[in-house]
Amino acid sequence: MKRPVSFLVVHGDGSRVRRVYLPRWIVSGTLGLVAAVAAATIGLAGRYALLLRESSRTAALRQRADDERVLDSFQTRIAAVRTELRTWKALHTKMWKAFGLAASSERTRTGAGGGTLDAGAPNPEAESRPSGELDLLATSVADEGPRLRELERVIGRMGKVMNALPLSWPVRGQIDSEYGLRRSPWGRGREHHDGIDIGSLSGTPVRCPAAGTVVAASSHGGYGRNVVLDHGNGVESRYAHLKKIDVKLGQRVERGQVIGLVGSTGRSTGPHLHYEVLVEGKPVDPRSFLARAND
């Protein structure tokens, strides 16, 4: 049998000393338990440190995933804007062609050099750099800006011309006689009719279809009481067989303004408005100016 392990227990004042004997297996077990507890503590500390590192890595990965989602959303929006720019460019080209013109960049180009990247087309290298994508879009918008402003000026000028044209109906009613050759209402044979006859009740207001200046206001001849308006750009309009004239020579009239009343004066078989459109002094078919619907 192994000898027990002895311990000396000394009181604090040193007056008494006592020897204690403990079996060796108790001492060994106690030391082993202390060692196990220490090892477990060290192990837990290590695991805690590992968990801290993993937690930090998880947070970084989560942030990276969030950044990637934001980047994906950014790229999606960039692609949408890029598509919108291409659509606008195509629309601008069509509008220039409709006016019979070329875009300013095409009309002023006199030479060419090295190739450049179209900002409206995808660029794989720039797609990986959001700042690069923004630079490309900014360049594209800057290039398109002057073309759009020039197109706006052209449209503005065309708009003024269109507003000056007699494009609306002066009165409502049935067309009793069209422009061109017709059977004469005064007897046998055919004659050329320089306008259209719009049937309407006597006294119906005749409204100016476009702004203009009164260049004729007569009460004589086959037209009877009639008014001629100059709309500019070589375009004039005539309103004949009026019962009453409500404007004066040289007067400026606006679209929708009443210039007279329907009547049957002059060479006429009944109340109606004889309406003519003249371009450079020559009569043309008024229907080429009027809307399809008689409204």
Tens digits of per-residue pLDDT, 199-208? 999 999 999 9
What's the domain count of the chain? Answer: 3
Q: What is the pLDDT of residue 295?
A: 46
- Report helix angle 24-98 to 130-164, nearest 10: 30
Do residue 23 and residue 87 come from a single domain? no
For 201, the token pair is 């009740």
Q: Percent of the chain, pLDDT > 90?
A: 32
Question: Is 221 contained in some domain?
Answer: yes
Using the predicted structure, report yes or no on whether residue 294 has a pLDDT greater than 90. Answer: no
Q: What is the pLDDT of residue 116?
A: 44
Q: What is the pLDDT of residue 159?
A: 67
Question: Is 114 contained in some domain?
Answer: no
Q: Residue 98: pLDDT band by 50, 70, 90 thresholds?
A: low
Question: Is 113 contained in some domain?
Answer: no
Do residue 52 and residue 29 come from a single domain? yes
Question: Is 295 contained in some domain?
Answer: no
Distance CA 208, CA 260 (A): 9
Task: Please report where in the chains the tokens 């003024």 appear, as a residue.
Answer: 160
User: Contact at 8 Å (CB) between 20 and 7?
Assistant: yes
Q: What is the pLDDT of residue 16?
A: 65
Do residue 150 and residue 181 come from a single domain? no
Using the predicted structure, report yes or no on whether residue 243 has a pLDDT greater than 80. Answer: yes
Question: Cα-Cα-Cα-Cα dihedral of 85, 87, 92, 95, to 10°?
Answer: -170
Using the predicted structure, report yes or no on whether residue 167 has a pLDDT greater than 70. Answer: yes
Do residue 270 and residue 232 come from a single domain? yes
Average pLDDT over residues 186-196: 85
Q: Which helix (H) or strand (E) holds 175?
A: strand 175-177
Of residues 197 and 93, more confidently modeled: 197
Do residue 139 and residue 219 come from a single domain? no
User: Contact at 8 Å (CB) between 262 and 201?
Assistant: yes
Using the predicted structure, report yes or no on whether residue 45 has a pLDDT greater than 80. Answer: no
Q: Residue 117: pLDDT band by 50, 70, 90 thresholds?
A: very low
Q: Residue 146: pLDDT band by 50, 70, 90 thresholds?
A: confident
Write the CA distances from 19 to 7, 24, 257, integer angstroms: 6, 15, 131
Question: Is 112 contained in some domain?
Answer: no
Using the predicted structure, report yes or no on whether residue 28 has a pLDDT greater than 90. Answer: no
Contacts for 186 with CB less than 8 Å, ≥ 6 apart? 267
Do residue 85 and residue 63 come from a single domain? no
Do residue 199 and residue 158 come from a single domain? no
Do residue 126 and residue 181 come from a single domain? no
Using the predicted structure, report yes or no on whether residue 142 has a pLDDT greater than 90. Answer: no
Question: Is 138 contained in some domain?
Answer: yes
Do residue 137 and residue 89 come from a single domain? yes
Using the predicted structure, report yes or no on whether residue 52 has a pLDDT greater than 60. Answer: yes
**Residues found in the chain:** 295
Average pLDDT, the chain: 75
Do residue 83 and residue 55 come from a single domain? no
User: Contact at 8 Å (CB) between 170 and 290?
Assistant: no
Do residue 147 and residue 202 come from a single domain? no
Average pLDDT over residues 170-183: 91
CA distance between the termini of the chain: 128
Query: What's the pTM?
Result: 0.52
Average pLDDT over residues 259-266: 96
Rounded (5°) CA angle 269-270-273 = 105
Q: What is the pLDDT of residue 102?
A: 59
Q: What is the pLDDT of residue 101?
A: 59
Distance CA 172, CA 206 (A): 9
Do residue 97 and residue 25 come from a single domain? no
User: Contact at 8 Å (CB) between 185 and 197?
Assistant: no
Question: Is 293 contained in some domain?
Answer: no
Using the predicted structure, report yes or no on whether residue 122 has a pLDDT greater than 60. Answer: no
Domain boundaries, position 31: 5-70
What count of other Cβ atoms lies within 10 Å of the Cβ of residue 236? 21
Contacts for 214 with CB less than 8 Å, ≥ 6 apart? 227, 228, 229, 247, 248, 249, 250, 251, 252, 253, 259
